[in-house]
Amino acid sequence: MVEVRMVALEPIFTQNTNTVDINKFETIIAEETKWADDANKERERIKKKQEEQEELFKKIVICMAVVGLGIATFFISKIVKYIKEIKKTKKIMPEQELEYFREIPDEEVTAAEAAYLYYFDKKSAFKSNISKIVSATILNLGLKKAVSFEKDQKGNIDIVINKEIDITKLQVEEKKIYYLLTEVKKWKNKKSKTEEENNQVSMKDIEKYAKNNDKTFLSDIDGIEGTAQSANKMKQNYSREQIEIATKWENKRTAYYVVAFVCICLGVMVAPLFAIIPSIICGILCQKLVNKTRTLTQKGVNEQEKWKALKRYMENFSLLNEREVPELVLWEKYLVYATAFGIADKVLSQLKIKYPELMDENYMMSNGYMYIYLMNRYNFERTLTSSMQKAYSAGLAEKASREMASSHSSSGFRRWRWLFRRWRLRRRSEAGMGGR
């Protein structure tokens, strides 16, 4: 809206009778002057505010530049430090690189201990292959006569527990699995309510036991890695101090990646590139230090190299021009480790080429090669590994289900308690009003 005020001399409007005999000139001039002064003051205020904002922006830019310079200096010093640390830190390598290794590096080493060395370079690989490791341990229990294997009427393979075995001759991991199978047997007999004690355990029995006793089952299975680690530590293949150094670098790597992620979420204006990019670079350098420091001892690396070379030998022995191939009886032990390494199928397919008698049931049974025959003829190793994996998965699923139910139950209880308290307060309030 525009307001117009016009001032003119009196004779101009001679015909207009709508007049007031008052001189408004001075009043109008005074009002217009006041309004002009007010407008000028407002313009000055706005101009001053803009100048203050510009000054504040300059100060913020200067502060950000100073902070950015400080952050950049910090990260540059860290990057230089980590690069020097990378150059200084030498990754432990095997003293002798082996393509193939024909002999078992240590006859006394259990399948779990060998697997711990073999899978060490890949974090969590031991746990992801636990079903193979447990199956290999059961096969080794068969070699030690702690258990035997029988085919039932339906063609399924059952595990028969030998109660007369001298437990002291078993290794720690083997004892764990032997006791676990014994618990499965007791649980099965209790469920079936038969007076006659049955020492046989089927694959289905193990799966059912894991589902109904997930705490005990998972505790026994997950504990195998710890015992294998302890055994390798005693043999000086593993150093806790070395892993603590690697863990320190892992924590730093994670911290730098978190900083970068937070900066990206805040935006480039709030967290400039001089904070995002250097933190990512520091994280990458820390990861390189993790790779260099997360290792076994020199003795452990040498042993690991032998186990890896043995695996390559077992995978390719039929292609090698060797005059002498290990006797069939030795392959029973080889197959224990082949199962732990996940290559039993490959080894068995090559054994058929080198040993045609493998398909002769009478020959295999009469010479005591029962479980090689079962593995070859009925895929026993694959069935055993698959069943152990199903049992482990069933235990994990039951644990998760129980924890979820417990969580829901706890939250439901809290809700009902809250509703009860509200009801009780309401009753008290109504009682108080009635009294008045």
Task: State how far the alpha carbon of 340 is from the alpha carbons of 135, 233, 332, in Å.
Answer: 7, 20, 13
Phi-psi group of 368: left, alpha or beta (phi > 0 → left; psi -120 to 50 → alpha; rest → beta)? left
* The two structure tokens encoding residue 48: 């001053």
Contact between 240 and 233 under an 8 Å Cβ cutoff? The reply is: yes
Task: State how far the alpha carbon of 145 is from the alpha carbons of 40, 142, 266, 307, 372, in Å.
Answer: 105, 5, 64, 25, 15
Q: Calculate ∠ Cα 101-102-108, nearest 5°.
A: 95
pLDDT value at position 2?
A: 61
- β-sheet bridge partners, residue 148: 160
- β-sheet bridge partners, residue 161: 147
Per-10-residue mean pLDDT, the chain, length 436: 64 67 75 84 88 87 79 88 92 92 90 95 89 93 89 80 90 94 91 73 91 90 93 92 91 92 72 77 94 92 95 84 67 91 89 79 75 74 86 85 64 59 54 42
Q: What is the rounded distance in angstroms from the CA atom of residue 184 to the CA atom of residue 384?
A: 15
Find the Cα–Cα–Cα–Cα dihedral 12, 15, 18, 21, rounded to 10°: 60
* The two structure tokens encoding residue 149: 């294997």
HEC readout, the chain:
CCCCCCCCCHHHHCCCCCCCCCCCHHHHHHHHHHHHHHHHHHHHHHHHHHHHHHHHHHHHHHHHHHHHHHHHHHHHHHHHHHHHHHHHCCCCCCCCCCCCCCCCCCCCCCHHHHHHHHCCCCCCHHHHCHHHHHHHHHHHHHHCCCEEEEECCCCCEEEEECCCCCHHHCCHHHHHHHHHHHHHHHHHHHHHCCCCCCCEECHHHHHHHHHHCHHHHHHHHHHHHHHHHHHHHHCCCCCHHHHHHHHHHHHHHHHHHHHHHHHHHHCCCCCCHHHHHHHHHHHHHHHHHHHHHCCCCHHHHHHHHHHHHHHHHHHHHHHCCCCCCCCHHHHHHHHHHHHHHCCHHHHHHHHHHHCHHHHCHHHHHHCCCHHHHHHHHHCHHHHHHHHHHHHHHHHHHHHHHHHHHHHHHHHHHHHHHHHHHHHHHHHHHHHHHHHC
- Close Cβ partners of 245 (under 8 Å, ≥ 6 residues apart): 293
Q: What is the rounded distance in angstroms from the CA atom of residue 252 to the CA atom of residue 99?
A: 36
CA-based nearest residue to 90, from 233, 242, 248: 242
Q: What is the rounded distance in angstroms from the CA atom of residue 243 to the CA atom of residue 233?
A: 12
pLDDT value at position 223?
A: 92
Contact between 344 and 335 under an 8 Å Cβ cutoff? The reply is: yes
* The two structure tokens encoding residue 170: 């078993």
pLDDT value at position 59?
A: 86
Residues in the chain: 436
Per-residue burial over 282-305, b = 16 or more CB atoms within 10 Å of its CB, e = otherwise: bbebbbbbbebbbbbbebbbbbbb
- β-sheet bridge partners, residue 225: none
pLDDT value at position 99?
A: 92
Q: At what angle do helices 298-316 and 111-118 cross, to 10 degrees?
A: 100
Q: What is the rounded distance in angstroms from the CA atom of residue 194 to the CA atom of residue 189?
A: 6
Model's pTM, two decimal places? 0.75
pLDDT value at position 434?
A: 43
